[in-house]
């Protein structure tokens, strides 16, 4: 059985949604704690020396990290959740790389400014710059994507799930709805899917 190491509200949320969509059974291990103090279970560091989630341990014991790779791997086994026509597939791969490389990666800095910058004031300023960077990423996606009604057309893909998850993080859903109305509508629609609604409720509370 697959084993997912995650934490509530983290990048593991989209992997859980995808596993459920694919009807793949899995065990879940809560591997990170953010409050009251940040800590990891030792097993997580053994599996992923960076100590990050999500980590998926496959049936043969091999380890997968990297949310986008895990999602693409699961999409290969789930008919209908990744576009197959060549033009849409090119855009699908483009944005399936943009989300982790340009959006998600910012959180490695924004979530832990003390790892990178000395002093409270400098950390605050650093965090604000990274929030602005996230706004720029969303504005870029809004200008390049034309949801109809899902991000890549009439059917929902794993890219919709991925965007719906990162839309729950900074700069925040209210900002996205106000400044990126097309993507705001697409992620709102995606969240109406019963699997997404259930998984988000468990992860984000709503």
CB nearest ligand GSH: which residue? 52
Shortest distance, position 204 Cβ to ligand GSH, whole Å? 12
Stretch 169-198 residues interacting with ligand GSH (CB under 6 A):
none
- Answer yes or no whether residue 149 interacts with ligand GSH by CB under 6 A: no
- Answer yes or no whether residue 199 interacts with ligand GSH by CB under 6 A: no
Q: Which is closer to ligand GSH, CB of 107 or CB of 153?
A: 107
Bridge partners (DSSP) listed for residue 40: 32
Q: Which is closer to ligand GSH, CB of 168 or CB of 187?
A: 168
3-class secondary-structure state, position 108: helix
Q: Which is closer to ligand GSH, CB of 65 or CB of 88?
A: 65
CB burial string 24-47: b at 16+ within 10 A, e below: eeeeebebbeeeeeeebeeebeeb
**What separation, in Å, do the N-terminal and C-terminal C-alpha atoms of the chain show?**
29
Residue 101: count of CB within 10 angstroms of its CB: 11
Radius of gyration of the chain (CA): 17
- HSE value, Cβ hemisphere, 13 Å, CA-based, for 158: 35
Q: How far apart are CA 136 and CA 168, in angstroms?
A: 16
Q: How far apart are CA 174 and CA 80, in angstroms?
A: 30
Shortest distance, position 171 Cβ to ligand GSH, whole Å? 16
Q: Tell me 171's DSSP state.
A: T
- Answer yes or no whether residue 67 interacts with ligand GSH by CB under 6 A: yes
- Answer yes or no whether residue 53 interacts with ligand GSH by CB under 6 A: yes
Residues 8-47: x where in contact with ligand GSH by CB under 6 A, - otherwise, as a string: --xx--------------------x---------------
Consecutive H or E run containing 6? strand 2-6
- Answer yes or no whether residue 66 interacts with ligand GSH by CB under 6 A: yes
Q: Tell me 28's DSSP state.
A: E
Q: Which is closer to ligand GSH, CB of 38 or CB of 146?
A: 38
Residues 87-126: x where in contact with ligand GSH by CB under 6 A, - otherwise, as a string: -------------x---x--xx------------------
Bridge partners (DSSP) listed for residue 2: 26
Q: Which is closer to ligand GSH, CB of 32 or CB of 158?
A: 32
Q: What residues line the site for ligand GSH (CB under 6 A)?
A: 10-11, 32, 51-54, 65-67, 100, 104, 107-108
């Amino acid at each position: 059985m697959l084993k997912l190491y995650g934490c509530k509200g983290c990048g593991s949320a989209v992997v859980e949604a995808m596993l459920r969509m694919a009807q793949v059974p899995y065990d879940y291990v809560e591997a990170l704690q953010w409050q009251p103090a940040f800590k990891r279970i030792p097993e997580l560091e053994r599996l992923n020396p960076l100590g990050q989630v999500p980590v998926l341990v496959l049936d043969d014991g091999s380890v997968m990290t990297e949310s986008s790779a895990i999602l693409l791997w699961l999409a290969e086994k789930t008919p209908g959740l990744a576009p197959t026509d060549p033009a849409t597939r090119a855009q699908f791969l483009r944005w399936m790389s943009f989300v982790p490389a340009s959006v998600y990666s910012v959180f490695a800095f924004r979530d832990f400014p003390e790892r990178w910058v000395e002093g409270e004031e400098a950390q605050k300023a650093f965090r604000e710059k990274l929030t602005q960077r996230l706004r720029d990423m969303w504005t870029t996606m809004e200008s390049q994507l034309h949801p109809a009604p899902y991000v890549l057309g009439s059917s929902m893909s794993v890219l919709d799930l991925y965007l719906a998850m990162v839309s729950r993080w900074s700069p925040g859903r209210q900002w996205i709805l106000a400044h990126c109305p097309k993507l705001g509508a697409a992620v709102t629609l995606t969240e109406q899917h019963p699997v997404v609604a259930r998984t988000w409720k468990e992860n984000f509370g709503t």
